[in-house]
Amino acid sequence: MKKKRRRAQPVFKEYNQDQLLLLLQPEELVPNNHVVRLVNKAIDHMNIRSIVKAIQGRRHQQLPSTMMLKVLIYAYTQRIYSSRQIAKALRENIHSLVVRE
């Protein structure tokens, strides 16, 4: 008479979707020669006081003008012109994190 084998129960690793482990800073994931770094550096060295002065007081909750300018210029270099597409790229694209710093 053959003895029936018991099937081993599968053992799964713990799954926690809320766990976030980043060993690297997001900026470290962007290559040094990426266009986003050029945009970031160029805007940082520009005198944009006149732009800041023109924008002041126009929005209820203002974001830093330099950050917004960096985002727009980077988006335009990527041929993204729609504000909705820019917002989506900011949520999904690791390179856009560099211009928001």
> What pLDDT is attached to residue 100?
59
* Residue 87: inside a domain: yes
Residue 11 placed within a domain = no
Please report whether residue 77 resides in a domain.
yes
Domain contains 52 = yes
Cα separation, 6 vs 57, whole angstroms: 73
Q: What is the pLDDT of residue 28?
A: 75
Any domain includes 1: no
Residue span of the structural domain in which 76 resides: 26-99
pTM for this structure?
0.64
Mean pLDDT, rounded, for 52-75: 75
Number of domains in the chain: 1
Q: By the 8 A CB rule, do 67 and 100 touch? A: yes
- Across residues 53-80, what is the average pLDDT? 79
Q: Closest by alpha carbon to 43, among 69, 79, 75?
A: 69
- pLDDT for res 75: 93
Q: What is the pLDDT of residue 20?
A: 63
Whether the CB-CB separation of 71 and 80 falls below 8 Å is answered with no
Q: CB neighbours of 98 closer than 8 A, spacing ≥ 6?
A: 26, 27, 30, 34, 36, 37, 40
Q: Is residue 82 part of a domain?
A: yes
The two structure tokens encoding residue 99: 């211009």
Is residue 74 in a domain? yes
Q: What pLDDT digit, counting tens, does each position of 14-63 carry? A: 666 666 665 667 677 788 888 988 998 999 899 988 877 776 666 555 66
Q: Is residue 39 part of a domain?
A: yes
